[in-house]
């Protein structure tokens, strides 16, 4: 599925009288983001989720990792990580993320997770690799419980990579190819532990994001508006 329509567009959502206070605080602070300000002035949150599968309507979030980034630095000591309790898990997914029913039963309730992740993302720019899926999964949960959707600006490191290295995608066979996290990590000679864990993948994505951000800084991309183009 193509998630590109999520990126860089201003959200036209509005507050409702029935919205909970934690959502009102998130909405006001996130809606106030000034895209004309320098990239270095923003708090980015690098997000990765592990899920029961790849259908954002029927599958569920079972683990989340979020690492803050600001001023061209990552702050792993301030990372957020949690398991999310669900009623089911798929065997084929266990081979990827390694989480079992016993693991996720020790997690927090989905409602608590959604409130926490909204607090984490309040007033920030969301970053991730193929991040459209992660945003769709969070939105699906918010829709189930409150009829809400995130309004943050979103940056996908896959598309950012293609923007930084357009010459690699000029041939027909590569035009629609979206590079994987492993492909980019290998090209940048990055070696990490905990691949396919939410926090581990967020760490890899965060380092890649900073490398791409430096590349664009050298290309005179200075404001958030320019970064989101």
Comparing CA positions, the residue from 143, 133, 156, 153 lying closest to residue 208 is: 156
Name the 3-class secondary structure at 48: strand
pLDDT of residue 199 exceeding 60: yes
Report pLDDT for 95: 55
- Rounded CA separation 211/184 (Å): 11
What's the token pair of residue 37? 């300000």
Comparing CA positions, the residue from 111, 113, 130 lying closest to residue 121 is: 113
Report pLDDT for 2: 47
Helix axes 21-31 and 110-121, enclosed angle (nearest 10): 30
Mean pLDDT of 210-224: 95
Name the 3-class secondary structure at 117: helix
pLDDT of residue 229 exceeding 60: yes
- Rounded CA separation 107/119 (Å): 18
Percent of the chain surpassing pLDDT 70:
87
- Rounded CA separation 83/28 (Å): 28
Report pLDDT for 179: 82
Which tens digit of pLDDT belongs to each residue from 99-121? 878 888 899 999 999 999 999 99
Report pLDDT for 43: 98
What's the token pair of residue 47? 């997000």
Tell me the domains of the chain and their CATH numbers. Answer: 20-227 (3.30.420.10)
> Regarding predicted confidence, which is higher, 17 or 7?
17
pLDDT of residue 3 exceeding 60: no
Which tens digit of pLDDT belongs to each residue from 49-79? 999 998 999 999 999 999 999 999 999 999 9
Percent of the chain surpassing pLDDT 90:
72
Mean pLDDT of 204-211: 96
Comparing CA positions, the residue from 7, 1, 103, 114 lying closest to residue 54 is: 1
């Amino acid at each position: 599925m193509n998630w590109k329509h999520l990126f860089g567009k201003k959200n036209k959502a509005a507050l409702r009288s029935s919205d909970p206070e934690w959502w009102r605080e998130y909405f006001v602070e996130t809606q106030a983001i000034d895209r004309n300000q320098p990239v270095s002035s923003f708090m980015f949150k690098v997000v990765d989720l592990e899920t029961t599968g790849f259908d954002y309507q029927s599958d569920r979030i079972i683990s989340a990792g979020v690492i803050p980034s600001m001023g061209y630095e990552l702050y792993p000591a301030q990372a957020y990580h949690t398991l999310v309790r669900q009623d089911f898990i798929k065997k084929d997914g266990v081979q990827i993320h390694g989480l079992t029913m016993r693991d996720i039963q020790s997690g927090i309730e989905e409602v608590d997770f959604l409130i926490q992740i909204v607090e984490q993302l309040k007033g920030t720019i969301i970053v991730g690799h193929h991040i459209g899926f992660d945003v769709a999964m969070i939105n699906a949960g918010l829709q189930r419980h409150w009829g809400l959707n995130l309004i943050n600006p979103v940056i996908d490191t896959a598309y950012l990579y293609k923007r930084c290295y357009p010459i690699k995608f000029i041939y027909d066979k590569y035009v629609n190819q979206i590079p994987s996290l492993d492909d980019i990590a290998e090209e940048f000679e990055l070696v990490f532990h905990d691949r396919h864990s939410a926090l581990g993948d967020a760490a890899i994505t965060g380092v890649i994001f900073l490398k791409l951000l430096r590349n664009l800084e050298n290309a005179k991309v200075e404001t958030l508006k320019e970064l989101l183009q």
